[in-house]
A and B are shown apart, each in its own frame.
Chain A
Amino acid sequence: MHALNVDYMLGLVPILLSYLPLTLGMAAAGMLCALVLASLLAVIRVTELPGLNAFAMLFISFFRGTPLLVQLFLFYYGLPQVLTFLVSINGITATILGLTLHFSAYMAESIRAAIVGIDRSQTEAALSVGMTQGQLMRRIVLPQATRVATPTLMNYFIDMIKSTSLAFTLGVTELMGATQKEAASSFLYFEAFLVVAVIYWVVVEALSWVQKWLEQRLNRAYQR
């Protein structure tokens, strides 16, 4: 057993932090795309749009039913062999694509549950004043479903930030990939991975605070 090399750890922090923007950027891009896709899937599932509904079910089933790592390998190493125009897909794009598809499948189900949970009488009230289905969704149902779904969606976002670490298996030097390289050259594996663990942890904790603040804001309308 050797003593913890604190100086090395402190020196490593700024180096690793310089990769944080890429990690957070991939997560943010993945989250934005996943939110849009998940909302679409959820609306398709709720309204049981003919044709698309079956597709949505298949999509959700596949992307929930297979590991994210397998999906990433499939997109990055596998697909370009079949679809040759994808040869130029880079690791970052493949990661964002994988995160989007994978997490949208989960998020679609929680958004769907939130939509179904909005009481039916509000839907009727919106129709009774002459709103179309689209207006009803946009103005009444989705804003309220967002509030219900926010805690779960934030959890998925946190999960997504951590899942960006899989990008290093596609050769992307993000937070995890950079740590791996630093550790390999210094042989101080414990120190290096401890530092990166703390960095992920702090980021997630900070997000939990944002989550609390967001939930309080969204709950304003429901306080007596």
Chain B
Amino acid sequence: MIELKGLRKQFGDQVVFDAIDLQLSRGEIIVVVGPSGTGKSTLLRCINFLERPDAGQLTVGDLQVDVTRATQAQILALRRRTAFVFQNYALFANKTALENIAEGMIVVDRLSKREAHARARKILERIGLADKADAYPASLSGGQQQRVGIGRAMAANAEVILFDEPTSALDPQWVEEVLGLMKQLAAEHQTMIVVTHEMQFARDVADRVVFMDEGRIIEQAPPATLFSQPRDERTQRFLKKILAANPA
């Protein structure tokens, strides 16, 4: 189970979000939507401690962290329980697809190189890139790179995978293969929090859609409810605008 309680983040005087409460049960898939600049990505980054939250509590599985008093050991443990998929893939440029996936298992989980590579190969098969094991990121397409990025997150065996706009940097022709892989993970009941503008994905895959605006969670509901009967006026306005741009 994952729980965020009273989470706050500010940059200087600028409060990005405040008093965020969110709960996920194991296997749940949450899609976070909302206008740009409302703190969705920062919220994800705080869960992974890429940004240090300024107040609140984070619970991930058996690990409970008071963010203001988090020790280095807690931060490392938290990061290992929360895998991250980046908008720009962020693959290690000096490592092959296989090594990108194996790296965390070798360095953090201290598996032998052999064991880690064996597991990484299995993951490469699952993400459909078994033939690209020895390819370096520079020689992969955007879609393939992001699939490796997701493979790297899968390798962490984390409680939850956090997706930060995983398809918004992709050329349109690669979006489907990445969403397809995410759907495959969803079907395997991988717990995930996805920040995205892909409304059709939210409709098809999410157990719950969370709408954020100006640093607050305005409302959350299963996609069927949220898309057809948004309660709050801000949600209605946002959905109207984005669905006009990308009819789902």
Contacts and interface: CB of A to CB of B under 8 A. Distances in A.
A129 B136 contact: no
Interface string A134-168: 01000110011001000000000000000000000
A130 B50 contact: no
A144 to B, nearest CB: 5
B83 interface: yes
Contacts of A126: 92, 103
Given A125-B84, A221-B93, A131 B139 contact: no
Contact of A124 (B80, B86, B103): B86
B80 A130 contact: yes
B50 A129 contact: no
Contacts of A132: 76
Contact of A221 (B103, B138, B156): B138
B221 to A, nearest CB: 29
A2 interface: no
A128 B79 contact: yes
Given A144-B93, A223-B139, A121 B80 contact: no
A129 B79 contact: yes
Interface residues of B, number: 27
Nearest to B49: A127
Interface residues of A, number: 22
Given A121-B86, A125-B86, A222-B138, A130 B94 contact: no
B108 interface: yes
Given A124-B50, A139-B107, A224-B138, A129 B83 contact: yes
A221 B93 CA distance: 7
Interface string A103-138: 000000000000000000110111111111001000
B84 A222 contact: no
B38 interface: no
A140 B92 contact: yes
Given A130-B156, A131-B104, A131-B108, A143 B79 contact: no
Interface in A25-56: none
A223 B138 contact: yes
B2 to A, nearest CB: 16
Contact of B92 (A122, A147, A220, A222): A122
B90 interface: yes
Contacts of A222: 93, 136, 138
Contacts of A131: 104, 107-108
Contacts of A122: 90-93
B31 to A, nearest CB: 20
Contacts of B104: 129-131
Nearest to B136: A221
Nearest to A129: B104
Contacts of A223: 136, 138-139
Contacts of B76: 130, 132
Given A129-B104, A130-B79, A130-B104, A121 B136 contact: no
A139 B90 contact: no
Contacts of B90: 121-122, 124-125
Q: From A124, A126, A128, name the one whose CB has the most chain B CB atoms within 10 angstroms.
A: A128
A144 B94 contact: yes
A209 to B, nearest CB: 24
B103 A129 contact: yes
Contacts of B108: 129-131, 135
Contacts of A125: 84, 86, 90-92, 152
A92 B76 CA distance: 47
Contacts of A221: 93-96, 136, 138
A218 to B, nearest CB: 9
A135 B80 CA distance: 14
A128 B48 contact: yes
Contacts of B91: 122, 125
The 3 closest A-B pairs by CB, nearest first: A129-B104, A121-B90, A128-B84
Interface of B: 48, 50, 76-77, 79-80, 82-84, 86, 88, 90-96, 103-104, 107-108, 136, 138-139, 152, 156
Interface of A: 121-122, 124-132, 135, 139-140, 143-144, 147, 220-224
8 contacts: A121-B90, A124-B90, A126-B92, A126-B103, A129-B79, A130-B76, A140-B94, A222-B138
